[in-house]
Amino acid sequence: MSKKAAVMKGDGIGPEVVDSMLRVLKECNFQSELILCEAGSEQWDKNGRKDASYIPDVTMKILEETDCCFKGPTTTIPVPGAPRSVAVTLRQKFDLYANIRPTKTYDRLTPDRKLDCVCFREATEGLYTGVEAKITDDAAIAIRKITRQGSRRLIDSAVDWANKFNMKKMVAVTKRNILKQTDGIFWDETQKAVEGTDIELSEIYIDNMAQQMVIATEQFNGAVLVSTNLFMDIISELASALVGSIGLIYSANIGDNYAMFEAAHGSAPQFAGQNKVNPTATVLSGAWMADYLGERDVRDAIFAATEQVINEGKAVTWDIGGDASTTQMTDAIITYAKEKLRK
């Protein structure tokens, strides 16, 4: 039977970049079935803000019947009583505990700086559980929940990745000198997970890690970076900046039985409808989804084509030094990807 993926175009620039991704997949003869459905704050607004979630019930039913999903950028409205974000909702609904961001520089964009690493972020606990309590009118606390099970399955997935891609270094990002109990559990489980492997494990505190990423970037080449929810959210964003544009960063949220693929950037409503934003992150996320669904040849062709387009610099968007439209850059990626698939 054909594999199935749900596709939510999202808000702001979401429909434009997701349309680019869908065109690339179609032109590369992608075989799995794609089912379009709605999610995000724009449809929530349109429906009178009456739903408890940004994900309508009909969409959730489709998600439950597919093998994975693609989420275009969505807006989370920062007002009291608004739903939690689409990403957080789906991570918790499908137990997508590993948020993964491969981060690689491009020769043309950062000729003097090379970075090729992958960030593994625990995505279901930590401070992002959202458990808070107001103590007085002037004070509140937030609960940072770290469990052995949550830590271990995240690290196990990172070790699997390291073995699959022959990566020999793992860096655990903690603040264990201060957070002795919670980061103590995370560090214990990281040490256990690499026992018996040839992975070289090191630990760096979050504040020093932020500095080291900037002043000695290349020490992290070939490394799998692992951390708890908030810390790796910060470090993966920093790593993205070192590449040259958040528009280049693709990601996935993967659990034992389901996966959600998405660009790392937001919905950027100020650029919506202008046909100017970088489609790279969304296109590469879609290519990764193709691989997850068993179509590795499609993934390989799209990745190679995108790298060629970016390094040539002839048909790239404004954020990476060009003047091409979203459509023009997408067309260039399609041309090269189809050439590679014919070989």
> Minimal CA–CA distance to 303: which of 341, 267, 277?
341
pLDDT at 331 (0 to 100): 98
Find out whether 268 and 10 touch, Cβ atoms under 8 Å: no
The two structure tokens encoding residue 276: 């100017």
Model confidence pLDDT, tens digit, residues 106-148: 999 999 999 999 999 999 999 988 889 999 999 999 999 999 9
User: Torsions phi, psi of 203, nearest 5?
Assistant: -125, 135
Q: 1-96+259-342 has which CATH code? A: 3.40.718.10
Write down the pTM of the prediction. 0.92
Q: 110-243 has which CATH code? A: 3.40.718.10
DSSP state of 257: S
Q: What is the mean pLDDT of residues 282-293?
A: 97
Model confidence pLDDT, tens digit, residues 53-109: 999 999 999 999 999 999 999 999 888 788 989 998 999 899 999 999 999 999 999
DSSP β-ladder status, 33-37 and 4-8: parallel
Burial 104-140 (b: 16+ CB within 10 A, else e): bbbeebeeeeebebbbbbbbbbbbbeeeeeeeeeeee
Q: Alpha carbon of 175 to those of 185, 207, 286: distances in Å? A: 12, 8, 34
pLDDT above 70 coverage of the chain, percent: 100
pLDDT at 292 (0 to 100): 96
pLDDT at 1 (0 to 100): 60
> Minimal CA–CA distance to 226: which of 189, 178, 266?
189
Q: Where are the domains of the chain?
A: 1-96+259-342, 110-243
Q: Do domains 1-96+259-342 and 110-243 have the same CATH topology?
A: yes
